[in-house]
Amino acid sequence: MPQSVRRWLGGIQAHATIEPDQFIDGAYVLSIAGAEQSHVNLRHPSEVFYEYLARIANHISVLFPEHAPLRILHLGAGALTLARWATVKYPGSQQVGVDIERELMDFVIEHLPFPDGTALHPIVADAKDVLLEQLAENEFDVIIVDIFTGEDAPEHLTTPEYYGLLANKLAPRGVLFVNVGDDPPLRFTDRQVAAAGQSFSFVALSAPPEMFTRKYPGNLVLTAANFPVNTEQIVACQEAGPHPSEIRSGLDLDGFGKP
């Protein structure tokens, strides 16, 4: 396993590094341009360190309780933390990992080996183009979007049209998860909720409670589906954590931030 390795990413003109976690034996941190991006525990891939990723993992566990194999699309590969988690939790899952940075995908696959039994097809492409081209005929049970943060997001990946493409790639009981990083007063989050609402009948936001005050920067998880997610499932997702945890959907989400 790497002690510390580095690679130049031509697309964004920055270095990516993989270094051992100083506190967790067998875990590694992927950084890009000096900023931490992903955390991987090679010895225990079912353990997800970053809060928002753990939140997505817990939501999946609640909404897919049988733990049968899933078809999962990861848009924004990073270190493919949730792909590793899914291999352990949903053995036999067929997964696709997409990233626009060829060097990053190769770097991660070379230095952070996958758990035994991983079935993952890597694709280097834009996260919109891939839906129209390489994956035009595919359907997924779970789509995870982890490609943007706030106002720096590529505009074509934040529009109602894009959410419509994502909806068309989901199975009838499929679920979309989007990591939404934002700063106060969370105007970008509002736009993503509105955009998702044009293509999905169910939209929810989950995060630590302080994020719903609109006073702090951080990550929220947008969950969307076109089947009725019932109250018991929503409560179970909130109780699954990480804690503290709050989920808003329906009228609670409509009223988010309004006086």
Please say whether the beta carbons of 21 and 29 come within 8 A.
Answer: yes
Give SS3 for 132: helix
Strand pairing class (170-182; 94-99): unpaired
- Cα separation, 161 vs 120, whole angstroms: 27
245 pairs with which residues across the strands? Answer: none
Give SS3 for 121: strand
- What ranges do the domains of the chain cover? 45-254
Segment 41-60, tens digit of pLDDT: 999 999 999 999 999 999 99
Residues above pLDDT 90, as percent of the chain: 79
- Cα separation, 83 vs 114, whole angstroms: 9
Please say whether the beta carbons of 72 and 56 come within 8 A.
Answer: no
Count of C-beta atoms within a 10 Å radius of residue 99:
26
- Cα separation, 55 vs 143, whole angstroms: 14
The CATH homologous superfamily for domain 45-254 is Vaccinia Virus protein VP39 (3.40.50.150)
Segment 184-236, tens digit of pLDDT: 999 999 999 999 999 999 999 999 999 999 999 999 999 999 999 999 999 99
